[in-house]
């Protein structure tokens, strides 16, 4: 059976007249005017990294004397209608607002004709000419059922010819206001609203300069517009920070949940030489793009946030042992494990960028010689304020090993136990390295003796630091009591 096609004989239109209740209780005819994105005079887009954006635009819209309806098209499918704010400069009065989001589809169009007569055009096999028959649409559940004059057909072949599209079905989500004005003309209308489906994230490229302590760092912003509408010629602002939001429920949000868009496409990958300007805003940081840009619908755009050469960093080797050695006797040492490698630097003005860094993924590369680049690993950072340390895990060191073992376990009482630990560090490199040994100690603890001085990092975490010679070994040992 061939699928049923639909031909819409009249284009979707907004009727030029409508009816509202008059002041005397009778229906009063009003005109319906329309505004689209082509009427925009300015557009500001503030995107937060929590899948929400604030859209602010000004349009030159038509107005009629007395009461009239204004259809405000080209708004997002995921708009939060209750967040709409309208500024009319006193030339208009907003009486009512409604949000039309019952979008046109084949299913919804046919549903509007349930119980009504419609026309089906199909090919007469005897004469090979198109013919039209009229029947009543009985059901769409499990198939299309139509009752003709003397029989009923299920999933009939042919093309539906429909006289019109119901006024309650629209092709795009639309805001409609009932307004009142003193005279006919044009008015500059300011509208702002919150919409979901727009998000941004920051990603970084850290390129090491060979085996030195120098690197270049570039930050890239990726803006993902999945809101259902394009934003052309917009002033773009990005806000980094954690917004406190209330979870929305109710019929409106459930209905709009059906409007999830398809997976986005990568629209533009182009560096703009760090053209974002950073500034403090409330308890967040705002990054403003100093030029006009466009965000196509269901696409991603990448813009360079900054780029700098000459970043000074340090390479940190760290052994992070297990916690199974503190509760009972453990026979034999652990298996040798490679040490973790961290890259760290101070996010200070003297060591660029020295600016608040939005959270995101840092991808690490090394350029060993011109035109030869290696991928070394990646890590995720949270929001990093200015003058704080940045620490990212690059991977593990092939030539550095650590092995942990329990040399003594004693129960001094029902609650008190004493444990002696040794960590053997092996360096197979051709140069000396500094290694940090981080130990997480359980419960109430006290270190009774140790081979190296330690630093208490947190309530249950200590760090030993030692120099391991090239081709050599160093043992870090300590005895601790635990409650």
Whether residue 135 is found in the same domain as residue 61: no
Whether residue 55 is found in the same domain as residue 158: no
**Does residue 269 form part of some domain?**
no
Whether residue 37 is found in the same domain as residue 127: no
- Locate 200 and state its tokens: 């941004």
Cis peptide before 35 (omega within 30 of 0): no
**Does residue 433 form part of some domain?**
yes
C-alpha–C-alpha distance, residues 362 and 360, integer Å: 7
Question: Which residues have C-beta within 8 Å of that of residue 36, sequence separation ≥ 6?
Answer: 73, 74
**Does residue 323 form part of some domain?**
yes
Least Cα distance to 189 among 352, 7, 59, 66 occurs for 59
C-alpha triplet 158, 159, 164: angle, nearest 5°: 150
**Does residue 176 form part of some domain?**
yes
Whether residue 71 is found in the same domain as residue 97: yes
Work out whether the CA dihedral 141, 146, 151, 154 comes out positive or negative. Answer: negative
Separation of CA 324 from chain center? 39
Whether residue 424 is found in the same domain as residue 458: yes
Whether residue 77 is found in the same domain as residue 175: yes
C-alpha–C-alpha distance, residues 227 and 53, integer Å: 9
pLDDT, residue 284, reads 58
Whether residue 24 is found in the same domain as residue 75: yes
Q: Output b/e per residue, 158-179; b: 16+ Cβ within 10 A.
A: bbbebeebeeebbebbbbbbbb
Whether residue 180 is found in the same domain as residue 124: no
Give residue 323's domain range: 318-336+398-482
Whether residue 47 is found in the same domain as residue 181: yes
pLDDT, residue 410, reads 93
**Does residue 439 form part of some domain?**
yes
pLDDT, residue 113, reads 82
Give me the tens of pLDDT residue by residue for the chain, a chain 483 residues long.
Answer: 443 333 333 333 333 344 444 444 444 567 889 999 999 999 999 998 888 999 999 999 999 999 999 989 888 888 888 899 999 878 888 899 887 766 667 887 888 888 888 888 888 888 888 888 888 988 888 889 888 888 998 988 888 888 887 766 666 678 889 999 999 999 999 999 999 999 999 999 999 988 788 899 999 999 999 998 999 999 999 887 766 766 655 444 433 333 333 333 333 333 334 455 655 554 557 778 878 999 999 999 998 888 888 889 999 999 998 788 888 898 888 889 999 999 999 888 777 666 788 889 999 999 877 778 889 999 999 888 888 899 999 999 999 999 999 999 999 998 899 999 999 999 999 999 999 999 999 989 999 999 999 999 999 999 999 999 999 999 999 999 998
- Locate 74 and state its tokens: 């080209």
Domain of residue 452, CATH code: 2.60.40
Which residues lie across from 395 on neighbouring strands? 341
**Does residue 448 form part of some domain?**
yes
Whether residue 178 is found in the same domain as residue 125: no
pLDDT, residue 466, reads 96
**Does residue 432 form part of some domain?**
yes
Return the SS3 of 58: strand
Reported pTM: 0.67
Whether residue 24 is found in the same domain as residue 142: no
**Does residue 219 form part of some domain?**
no
C-alpha–C-alpha distance, residues 48 and 242, integer Å: 9
Q: 15 near 167, Cβ under 8 Å?
A: yes
- Greatest Cα pair distance, the chain, in angstroms, is 104
**DSSP string covering 70-116, please?**
EEE----TTB-GGG-EEE-TTS-EEEEEEEE--B--HHHHHHTTTTS
Domain count, the chain: 3
* Edge-to-edge strand ranges of the sheet holding 417-427: 445-450, 473-482, 417-427, 389-411, 337-346, 314-320, 433-440, 461-468, 454-458
Whether residue 324 is found in the same domain as residue 426: yes
């Amino acid at each position: 059976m061939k699928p049923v096609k639909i031909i819409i004989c009249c284009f979707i239109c907004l009727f030029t007249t409508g009816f509202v209740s008059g002041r005397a209780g009778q229906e009063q005819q009003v005109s319906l005017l329309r505004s689209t994105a082509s009427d925009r005079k300015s557009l500001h887009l503030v995107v937060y990294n929590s899948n929400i954006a604030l859209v602010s635009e000004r349009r030159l819209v038509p107005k009629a004397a007395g009461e009239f309806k204004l259809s405000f098209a080209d708004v997002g499918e995921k708009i939060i209608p209750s967040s709409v704010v309208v500024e009319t400069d006193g030339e208009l009065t907003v009486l009512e607002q409604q949000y039309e989001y019952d979008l046109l589809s084949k299913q919804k169009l046919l549903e509007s004709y349930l119980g009504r007569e419609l026309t089906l055009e199909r090919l007469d096999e005897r004469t090979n000419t198109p013919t039209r028959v009229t029947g009543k649409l009985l059901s769409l559940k499990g198939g299309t059922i139509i009752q003709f004059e003397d029989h009923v057909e299920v999933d009939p072949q042919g093309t539906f010819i429909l006289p019109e599209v119901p006024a309650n079905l629209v092709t795009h989500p639309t805001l409609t206001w009932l307004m009142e004005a003193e005279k006919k003309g044009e008015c500059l209308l300011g509208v702002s609203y919150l919409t979901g489906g727009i998000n941004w994230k920051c990603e970084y490229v850290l390129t090491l300069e060979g085996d030195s302590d120098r690197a270049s760092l570039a930050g890239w912003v990726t803006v993902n517009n999945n809101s259902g509408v394009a934003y052309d010629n917009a002033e773009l602002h990005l806000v980094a920070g954690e917004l406190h939001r209330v979870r929305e429920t109710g019929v409106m949000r459930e209905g709009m949940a059906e409007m999830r868009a398809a997976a986005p496409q990568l629209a533009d990958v182009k560096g703009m030489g760090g053209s974002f300007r950073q500034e403090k805003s409330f308890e967040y940081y705002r990054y403003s793009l100093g030029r006009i840009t466009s965000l196509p619908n269901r696409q991603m755009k990448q813009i360079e946030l900054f780029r700098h050469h000459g970043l000074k960093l340090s390479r940190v080797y760290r052994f992070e042992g297990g916690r199974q050695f503190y509760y009972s006797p453990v026979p034999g040492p652990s298996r040798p494990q490679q040490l973790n490698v961290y890259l760290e630097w101070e996010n200070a003005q003297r060591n660029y960028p020295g600016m608040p860094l939005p959270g995101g993924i840092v991808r690490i590369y090394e350029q060993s010689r011109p035109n030869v680049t290696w991928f070394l690993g990646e890590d995720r950072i949270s929001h990093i304020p200015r003058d704080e340390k940045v620490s990212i895990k690059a991977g593990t060191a092939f030539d550095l090993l650590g092995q942990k073992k329990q040399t003594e376990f004693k129960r001094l009482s029902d609650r008190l136990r004493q444990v002696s630990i040794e960590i053997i560090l092996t360096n197979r490199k051709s140069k000396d390295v500094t290694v940090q040994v981080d130990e997480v100690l359980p419960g109430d603890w006290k270190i009774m003796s140790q081979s190296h001085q330690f630093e208490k990092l947190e309530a249950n975490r200590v760090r030993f630091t030692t120099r391991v010679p090239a081709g050599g070994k160093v043992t870090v040992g300590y005895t601790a009591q635990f409650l």
